[in-house]
Amino acid sequence: MNLMKFTTALPTKNPIVYFGCSAIIWQFQYSNAETINLWDELSRVSGQNIIELMSSWTKQMGFPLVNVEQRIESGKRILKLRQERFILDGKSDDQDLVWKIPINICAESSPDRAKFKILMTDRAQEFELEGVQPNKWIKLNQGNAGFYRVQYTDEMLESFLPAIKNKKMHAMDRFGIANDLFSLVESERIPATNFLDFIQACSNEDNHIVWEALDSGLEQISKILMVYKDGTTQKRFHCFVNNILSPIAEIVGWESNPNEDSQISFLRATILNRLAHSSHPETIKTALQKFKKHFEDKVDLDKDL
């Protein structure tokens, strides 16, 4: 867990890690410090009980899943949050674990910064958010800095899709939603169609980090569909993938440019690899042609492909 990112979600005005670490380095410049000394200094500069907060993370196994519901009352957004231990196999947790979770929340009106900072300390809590219009989205774990997963209602997920499609939401937040979604699919908490609906909104996505999360999910779904002997379901899935990824492949192409961003190189490799695994005719044809030129004419292949 990144302590710097974790503590930025605390509802405090001071950059507590900066001041706390500076103080402890000065205080123990000629001696050894222990973990408790750091927690003490962070508590002092933040005015909060950091020892109690961090103990829920350092002395408990696993990490939480935060379930989110919302409603509007008197023009104010009310968030209903419930936490539980996240278990990938979907089994119910027999341990009554509760984390103290600092939560950053961004909004459609300010997608690149935390508009709200709250601290969840109980299994279930409600929070009132002022200044958010009823028809505007809000997203937890802004910047994907927190060590927890988030499960939204279908209505909240749907509200994200326009911002995903036009990339009005920050790339790390798009990644966070994609990453959480497929983990929820794997744990059988939501249907795979929720993940596929999200992918459809990513037809304009050009960020490699986001596509790494999406591609990981597509790979797992592809493996699962291999059990269908008739191949019809897998063909339909391949067609779905190809329709979304082929326009992106046309943009990134096969050839790298000397001055292009390394992220484009990584994106190209991810997209072309997925199209090849999805039996995309043009991708396979071009790949075979390039291999033939490499084998017969000694033409170098792109090292990133």
54-81 residue pLDDT tens: 888 888 889 999 999 999 888 889 999 9
- CB distance 90 to 111 below 8 Å: no
How many structural domains comprise the chain? 2
If you average pLDDT over residues 44-62, what whole number do you get?
A: 83
Is 156 contained in some domain? no
With pLDDT > 70 as the criterion, what percentage of the chain qualifies?
92
Is 23 contained in some domain? yes
| Pairing, β 101-107 against β 138-140 | antiparallel
DSSP β-bridge partners for residue 103: 118
Compute the radius of gyration of the chain from its Cα atoms.
23
- CB distance 8 to 113 below 8 Å: no
- Taking the model in full, what pTM does it have? 0.87
DSSP 123: S
What is the domain extent for residue 12? 3-58
CA 193 to chain centre: 18
Is 259 contained in some domain? yes
Is 11 contained in some domain? yes
| Pairing, β 64-73 against β 149-151 | parallel
Is 263 contained in some domain? yes
Last residue of a domain, one of 14, 32, 58: 58
Q: To which H or E segment does residue 134 belong?
A: none
If you average pLDDT over residues 169-175, what whole number do you get?
A: 96
d(CA 70, CA 136): 12
> Model confidence over 95-144: pLDDT tens digits?
789 999 999 999 999 999 989 999 999 999 999 998 888 889 999 999 99
Is 154 contained in some domain? no
